[in-house]
Amino acid sequence: MPDFDIFVPQPTADGSFTFTSQEFGEAFHSHYGAKQESFLKFAVPTQLAARAQKPVLRLLDICYGLGYNTAAALQTIWEVNPNCYVELMALEFNRAVPQAAIAHYLFDNWHYKYTDIMTQLAFEYQVQQEHLKAELIISDARNSIKILRERGFQADAIFLDPFSPPQCPQLWTVEFIQQIALCLHSDGMLSTYSCAASVRTALLTAGLTIGSTPPVGRRSPGTVAVHQGFSGNLALPPLSQSEQEHLLTRAAIPYRDPQLNDPADVILMRRKQEQQASSLEPTSRWRKRWLFGNTAKNFREADS
């Protein structure tokens, strides 16, 4: 049985709780509100409420963690259409994290209706009900995504929620995001909290079109991505001029993992060497140019 005591519930401003990862040295959510992040960074940008009118929705939750993004998605969909059939694939490396969320009763603070589903998924890794088929794959997501490719899984909404690129670069590389893009339905939407220029470049390299989503719990925005030719009801929120120029700096050089098996330090060093050899504008110059509008401060976390 995992040692759930290493995961200490920490309150956030909206009354929900999160954990801090000892391995990555980062909290799973911001202190502004773990629950609100799951709705406003993932369920809302992927337009789940509008999509819930469809009879079937397929979701891919990458870095399942405590399970909050999945929980927010199910609540959003079934509040609109209780009969919508949801097919969920969730990827997570550390099984103890979702299990600890259940062991510490974190969904009680949500007054969540579907805690039995989250419990079964965390401990049994599969749920089959009248309106839900869900599977939690415990493995390196770089291997798990290949399984989904082999199955031909096509998601209507993808939540990309690893730890930050400097801490977990292996899940932000061009090659990994290319695999994700192949699992995104032609009219599907991908959402991530990150606005890092390196991440946005990887999304563009994978053939996706990107937009900027409103900040939630911090100054910097998130990112939403769709396939070119996306025929959804709403246009993507455009990138600002500063965001567009950010993609022309050395910060935009993406992480690379050619065989999808390199350790983090190798991926980080590869990018650092490519940045040092680059003729692109130094990110410090971009930051100075936009300093007076506070844009550079807002994007400080995206420069790494």
CATH code at position 145: 3.40.50.150
Which amino acid type is present at position 140? D
The better pLDDT of the pair 236, 51 is held by 51
Phi, psi dihedral angles at 151 (to 5 degrees): -80, -10
Domain assignment present for residue 169? The answer is yes
Domain assignment present for residue 286? The answer is no
Domain assignment present for residue 81? The answer is yes
Q: What is the pLDDT of residue 1?
A: 54
Q: Which domain holds residue 79?
A: 7-239
Q: Give me the helices (H) in the chain, please.
A: 34-38, 48-51, 68-80, 96-103, 115-124, 141-151, 174-182, 197-205, 241-246, 264-276, 283-289, 295-298
Here the tokens at position 116 are 């039995």
Domain assignment present for residue 130? The answer is yes
Choose the weakest-confidence range: 2-6, 36-40, 156-160. Answer: 2-6
Q: What is the pLDDT of residue 231?
A: 66
Q: What is the pLDDT of residue 196?
A: 96
Alpha carbon distance 257, 271 (integer Å): 10
> Is 80 exceeded by the pLDDT of residue 298?
no
Q: What is the pLDDT of residue 233?
A: 62
Domains: count for the chain = 1
Domain assignment present for residue 145? The answer is yes
Here the tokens at position 146 are 């290949």
Here the tokens at position 88 are 């969920």
Domain assignment present for residue 255? The answer is no
Nearest to 76 by CA among 68, 134, 208, 220: 68
Q: In this predicted model, what pLDDT tens digit does every residue of 27-57 receive, in sequence order?
A: 898 888 999 999 999 999 999 999 999 999 9
> Is 60 exceeded by the pLDDT of residue 300?
no
> Is 80 exceeded by the pLDDT of residue 129?
yes
Q: Which residue has the tokens 């100075």?
A: 288
Q: In this predicted model, what pLDDT tens digit does every residue of 65-83 receive, in sequence order?
A: 999 999 999 999 999 999 9
